[in-house]
Structures are given as C-alpha cells and as structure tokens.
C-alpha cells in the first residue's frame, strides 16, 4: 500500500511539475497559466500533446523543439523530477494519515514554484502566496475531518502559528526597513507558520530557526567562494522553504535532540 501510494505521488508530482514550469515562467510576467496553451518561446508553435509527457518527451525530442530545433532547457525535466521526488517524500511522511496529503502536497507544489520564482526574479508573487491563506485552512480542515486522531484544536494552533510567524517576520522587516528581506517573505512566513504549527509547536520552532540556519550556511559558502559579499542581496524565500521542509520531515527529531542536550 505504501509503495503504491509513493508511485501515485511520484506520477502526480511529474504532472504537477510540468504545470509548475508554466507557473514559474508566466506568473511573474502577469500572464495567465491557462491560456494560451504551452508553446515554444522561439518559434511560438504550440506544443503537441504527445510532446508534453513529463521528462519522457524531453528525452524523445532529444532536448530540442520539434518545429524549430531550438534547445529545450534541462531545467524543465529537472523541475518535474524535483517535484516528483518531493511529492514521494511527502507521501511517505504522511502515509499513515492520507487525509493530510492534499494539504502538504499543496504546500510542496507551492514551495517549488515560489522558490524558483524567487531565485529567478527576486519576488514571491501575491498570486501564489495570498490564496494559500484560504486554501491552506480549508485543506487542513479536511485533514482533521478525515483523521479521528486529530482534534479541531489543531486548526487553532495552526492559526496561532500563522499569526506568530507572520508577526515575527513583520518585526524583522520593520526593524530592517525592508533591507534584509522583502514583504513577500513576511507573507510567505504566515503560510509556513500555518502548516508547521498544525504539526506542533516544536515543528513550528524548528521551521522558523532552520530557515535562518540554512540561509546563514549558504551565505557563508557563497562568501567563501567569492560569489557574494556582506551586502549582496540573496533571495530569502528558498531558505525559508528549505527550513520549513526540514522541519516537516525531521522537526520533531531535531527538537527532541535539542531538548535532550539542554536537559529540558
């Protein structure tokens, strides 16, 4: 049963990853993700349905447009494979609680899209973050309704986590006058706080601080490699998302280990 769920999640992830390629390209440009249909950016020919099979079509086409021969970036299949891998990991993480899967698969897809867009254009679009303030609670309510072992108080904790992480990042944004991070990071913080606090306050806390830890480590590596300086602006959204997913998978383990070390 677990293996079948992982396979289904992987196939879904490939399909979602293919769609996310469209989202990542069009949303920052204010374009519709529905119309027009996918097309080659060079010759503008529409992509045929048989050429839209995730990963496989890219290989069969030998990495080139069928009509004009322009090279197709390896980023497309890599995004599909990345999304599939994360979907499988989420499915395995929540295989004992199937009703939780829609919520955290949604978070996974949203996270991939936001991380890539932030890396590309240094923005976290409202078109993606703001709907999560409505979609997230609805999906978490479905999770509670489908799991008799979880009480509705989990939703109250999730709401508290949303407010607390939003407030924390808002304070940082205010103190730094927006120099350290953008307000898009503040809005993303609320979304992450919602999903992490639903799993417990320890997971929430690990997710909060893991983002800063990952950002600090990457920053030091970039400076050591001469790729960045102290004033270099680096998109912070991917670090926040990385910290959140670290907490999602091993947050409880990290929290328990920390409490054991400090003797709490």
Same domain, 158 and 106: yes
CA distance 151 to 143: 10
What range defines the domain where residue 177 resides?
99-264
Same domain, 108 and 84: no
Are 57 and 121 part of one and the same domain? no
Quote the CA–CA distance of 193 and 187 in Å, as a whole number.
10
DSSP state of 98: G
Cβ-contact 47, 37 below 8 angstroms? yes
Number of domains in the chain: 2
Q: What is the pLDDT along the chain (264 residues), one digit of tens a residue?
A: 788 999 999 999 999 999 999 999 999 999 888 888 887 777 878 788 887 889 988 888 888 888 788 888 999 999 999 999 999 999 999 998 899 999 999 999 999 999 999 999 999 999 999 999 999 999 999 999 998 788 899 999 999 999 999 999 999 999 988 777 899 999 999 999 999 999 999 999 999 999 999 988 988 888 888 777 676 778 999 999 999 999 999 988 898 887 767 765
Among the candidates 73, 93, 113, a domain finishes at 93
User: What is the pTM assigned to this prediction?
Assistant: 0.93
Q: Which of 93, 119, 149 is the last residue of a domain?
A: 93
Do 25 and 85 fall within a single domain? yes
């Amino acid at each position: 049963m677990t293996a079948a769920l992982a396979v289904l999640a992987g196939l879904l992830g490939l399909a979602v990853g293919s769609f996310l390629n469209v989202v990542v390209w069009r949303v920052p440009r204010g374009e519709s993700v529905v119309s027009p249909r996918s097309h080659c950016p060079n010759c503008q020919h529409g992509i045929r349905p048989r050429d839209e099979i995730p990963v496989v079509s890219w290989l069969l086409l030998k990495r080139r447009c069928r009509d004009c021969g322009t090279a197709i970036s390896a980023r497309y299949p890599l995004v599909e494979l990345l999304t599939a891998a994360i979907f499988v990991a989420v499915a395995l993480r929540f295989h004992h609680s199937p009703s939780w899967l829609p919520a955290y698969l949604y978070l996974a897809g949203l996270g991939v899209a936001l991380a890539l867009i932030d890396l590309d254009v240094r923005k976290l679009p409202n078109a993606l973050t703001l709907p999560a303030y409505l979609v997230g609670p609805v999906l978490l309510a479905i999770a509670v309704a489908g799991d008799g072992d979880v009480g509705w108080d989990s939703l109250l904790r999730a709401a508290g986590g949303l407010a607390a992480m939003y407030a924390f990042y808002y304070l940082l944004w205010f103190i730094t006058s927006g120099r350290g991070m953008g307000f898009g990071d503040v809005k993303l913080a609320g979304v992450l706080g919602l999903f992490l606090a639903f799993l417990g306050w320890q997971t929430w806390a690990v997710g909060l601080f893991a983002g800063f830890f990952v950002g600090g480590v990457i920053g030091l590596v970039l400076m050591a490699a001469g790729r960045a300086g102290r004033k270099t602006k680096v998109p912070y959204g991917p670090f926040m998302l990385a910290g959140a997913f670290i907490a999602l998978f091993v947050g409880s383990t990290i929290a328990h280990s920390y409490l054991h070390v400090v003797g709490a």
